[in-house]
Amino acid sequence: MRQDEQVQLEKIIAERTSELQKTHEETLKLLHFLQIENEKRKQSEIALKKAVSDLRESEQKFKTILNFSPSGILLIDLKGKIKEISEIGIELLGASSRQEITGKHFLHFFSKNSKQIIKNIISLTISEGLTQENELILVKLDGKQMLGSVSTALIQDSDGKPSSYVVVFNDISQRKKQQLNQIHADRMANLGQMASGMSHEINQPLNIISMIMDKMLYDAKKGNTVNIAYINERADKIFENLTRIRNIIDHIRVFSRNQFDYIPTAFSINKGIENALSMFQEQFKHMGIAMYVSLSKQLPNLNGNIYQFEQVIMNMLSNAKDAVLDRKALESEDFIPKINIKTYKKRNRVHVEIIDNGVGIEEDKINEIMIPFFSTKEEGKGTGLGLSISYQIVKDMGGKIHVESSTMSYTKFSLIFITNDNGNGR
């Protein structure tokens, strides 16, 4: 073989060897890649099996919660369709099977008056994440209604976007009746405690009538000439005071009536306070209690039961009266018992404040005074239910109670209600 052919052959062999080396390296890389991908696949299979297992476990837990929860639970998609319901929920809505409920729009189970409210609640759930203990009228499959406590929560997907809602509901019809019975019992107890005060309210106009009649009889016996204008003037005074007595008796009769069927309506806060004050004013004068009243004229109406609102004010005034009289018994004769009640509006909140200069409440007891049967009064003087019932009434009206006190100085109860009016009031 010639030398140039041998050189050419060696060159070809070198090129083929280089190509084989590259192919070998690429094959090794491919094998390594396949090994990695195979390992990833195995890991993915393991992760998938675990995810499926976790999902099944999660579904089982969810079904367990649904089946054993003491509350009715609805799982609702973003279109409002019911996807799942708990066993208790099936029973509460008067169904015999899950299929009778699932697939229906959730609004199907709310009364006409409650539909817009639950829509607003769902909108609030989207922005706030949850709502709690909203009282609404629910409708069963047979058309019967029940009073329900409804709470809602938003469920989000992995990207944080809303995916569905959970609605938790309970039938509170019996509980509400018990609360109303308790409220009525407390109202009657208040009337009993205020019997002496009401006697002052009625005695004053009776005394005025008596004095007018005595004067007319005196003039008649003396043979004085009595003209028509004189008789009309005296008759007007008599009827004015008779009307006052009739109004007091009518208000007591309505106030003491059972309010089970009362439909919440818009009412004047100031009117409710004035009605409550009418039960105390003469009694306070007789006891030497100075009463200061400052009611803003720029208040929106409040929605609820005016008689229950009056009951709250009467409870507050009764407690204030006891507090200032207790302090009066401990202070010198110069002490003047004072009770101040005022209303005002600040932004979208209406404030009602009852302030007294009585014995006050100890700091460690302020958080306990709303607990049923807790009382700072001596045994036999209070039921321990007044403030807890007041708290429930105010809460039902969408308000809250704030208490501030300093022993042997003052106590201030603030009732705060949120309104839809954002204007500033005084």
Stretch among 93-107, 277-291, 317-331 having the lowest mean pLDDT: 277-291
Q: Is residue 5 part of a domain?
A: no
Same domain, 318 and 398: yes
Between 28 and 377, name the one with better pLDDT: 28
User: How many angstroms separate the first and last alpha carbons of the chain?
Assistant: 119
Q: Quick one: pLDDT band at residue 238, thresholds 50, 70, 90?
A: confident
Same domain, 86 and 204: no
Q: What is the pLDDT of residue 185?
A: 63
Q: What is the pLDDT of residue 425?
A: 43
pLDDT tens-digit series, residues 44-96: 888 778 777 766 776 666 667 667 777 899 999 999 999 989 888 999 999 99
Q: Quick one: pLDDT band at residue 424, thresholds 50, 70, 90?
A: very low
Q: Quick one: pLDDT band at residue 315, thresholds 50, 70, 90?
A: confident
Between 200 and 175, name the one with better pLDDT: 175
Question: Is the confidence at residue 325, as pLDDT, over 90?
Answer: yes
- Count of the separate structural domains present in the chain: 2
Q: State the CATH number of the domain containing residue 110.
A: 3.30.450.20
Same domain, 317 and 341: yes
DSSP state of 368: G
Same domain, 127 and 213: no
Same domain, 158 and 272: no
The domain in which residue 118 lies consists of 66-171
Q: State the CATH number of the domain containing residue 367.
A: 3.30.565.10
Stretch among 9-18, 249-258, 404-413 having the lowest mean pLDDT: 249-258
Q: Is residue 84 part of a domain?
A: yes
Q: Quick one: pLDDT band at residue 355, thresholds 50, 70, 90?
A: very high
- In order, the DSSP letters of 94-148 are T-SSGGGTTTSBGGGGB-HHHHHHHHHHHHHHHHHSEEEEEEEEEE-TTS-EEEE
Same domain, 117 and 225: no
Token pair for 94: 């008067």
Q: Quick one: pLDDT band at residue 139, thresholds 50, 70, 90?
A: very high
Q: Is residue 20 part of a domain?
A: no
**Radius of gyration of the chain measured on its C-alpha atoms:** 38
Whole-angstrom Cα distance, residue 309 to residue 71?
A: 31
Q: Is residue 288 part of a domain?
A: yes
